[in-house]
A and B are shown apart, each in its own frame.
Chain A
């Protein structure tokens, strides 16, 4: 159980590292939103899942699962509000120029 938990935590850390790399590499605001709010869901999910495995079936585990549920509801709302205000002030997403030079 402890080994499985540690593996999950390690995978969670990998996805969080990908989040950080994506935040630096991706070209514009919207694309970075993907990196942060997305890779983080699985990152946090695996991390907290690993902690639950370490902890076993206790009240603390229940609280961790409730926290996870809260993140899964609150995280997309925050991402949505940020993206919505960005579009409302007129920021258009970065797009790749195709071979004809059109955007």
Chain B
């Protein structure tokens, strides 16, 4: 059992190393070096000490984190996503646009929080829950993940399922549902990741049995 697991891990590492689709900055060595630099920087930023035992602890932690990450995360094209453009300019541009996106998201969260607080405190509690699904027009894993997290962070809507092509969202009221239907968040995420999209139609999910996993 353990032997089979180790063998699977070894194969996973080999395929990742000989990853033919990755070029330029997306190459595994660059990826691992990038993650290591980020994590080491975080470690020393948080500990603020440059002593021997802290250094060893940091290196061991970074190695364990990278190992686990490579073992449990699959390459995104196996999950049906497209690879992001492996260009440095795209990466820097996306970081910059995400920095603009974050305050907009915080504003959405604040507004929606007040909406949900009002629903909860209203004596009649005028909620109208619904379960909807739509096909995500976003293509890369990162943009879909940011959309899913943004939807969940925005009060009134929770991402129940997220795969390459389908989102299932639970909305607590008509207003929240309308927000998903308008696709305001979706358009902002698409702009941040430089993708062109059309806002998809919503469908109601009426029974748990009809959902394909």
Which residues of A does B touch, CB under 8 Å?
15, 18, 21-22, 25-28, 30-31, 33-35, 37-39, 41-42, 45, 59, 62-63, 66, 72-73, 75-77, 79-80, 83-84, 86-88, 90-96
Question: In the assembled complex, which residues on chain A have CB atoms less than 8 Å from the CB atom of B156?
Answer: 34, 38
Question: In the assembled complex, which residues on chain A have CB atoms less than 8 Å from the CB atom of B109?
Answer: 41-42, 45
What number of A-B contacts does a CB cutoff of 8 Å give? 115
Establish whether residues A92 and B160, one from each chain, have CB atoms under 8 Å apart when the complex forms.
no
Establish whether residues B116 and A22, one from each chain, have CB atoms under 8 Å apart when the complex forms.
yes
CB-CB nearest in chain A for B213: A88
B7 in the interface (beta carbon within 8 A): no
- On whether A62 and B45 interact (CB within 8 A), knowing A31-B129, A42-B109, A80-B158, the answer reads yes
Question: Chain B contact residues: over half helix, strand or loop, or mixed?
Answer: mixed
Chain A's nearest CB lies how many Å from the CB of B192? 16
CB-CB nearest in chain A for B113: A42
Question: Chain A contact residues: over half helix, strand or loop, or mixed?
Answer: helix
CA distance in complex: A59, B46 (Å): 8
CA distance in complex: A30, B173 (Å): 12
Establish whether residues B130 and A93, one from each chain, have CB atoms under 8 Å apart when the complex forms.
yes
Which residues of B does A touch, CB under 8 Å?
42, 45-46, 48, 106, 109-110, 112-113, 116-117, 120-121, 125, 127-131, 148-149, 152-162, 168, 170, 172, 207-209, 211, 213
CB-CB nearest in chain B for A85: B160
User: Would you list 10 pairs from A and B whose C-beta atoms are within 8 A, ordered by A residue?
Assistant: A15-B113, A18-B116, A18-B117, A30-B170, A35-B120, A37-B158, A41-B153, A87-B161, A87-B168, A88-B213
- On whether A63 and B155 interact (CB within 8 A), knowing A26-B120, A90-B208, the answer reads no
Question: In the assembled complex, which residues on chain B have CB atoms less than 8 Å from the CB atom of A95?
Answer: 128-130
Question: In the assembled complex, which residues on chain B have CB atoms less than 8 Å from the CB atom of A33?
Answer: 158, 170
Question: In the assembled complex, which residues on chain A have CB atoms less than 8 Å from the CB atom of B208?
Answer: 87, 90-92
- On whether A35 and B116 interact (CB within 8 A), knowing A21-B121, A72-B153, A80-B158, the answer reads yes
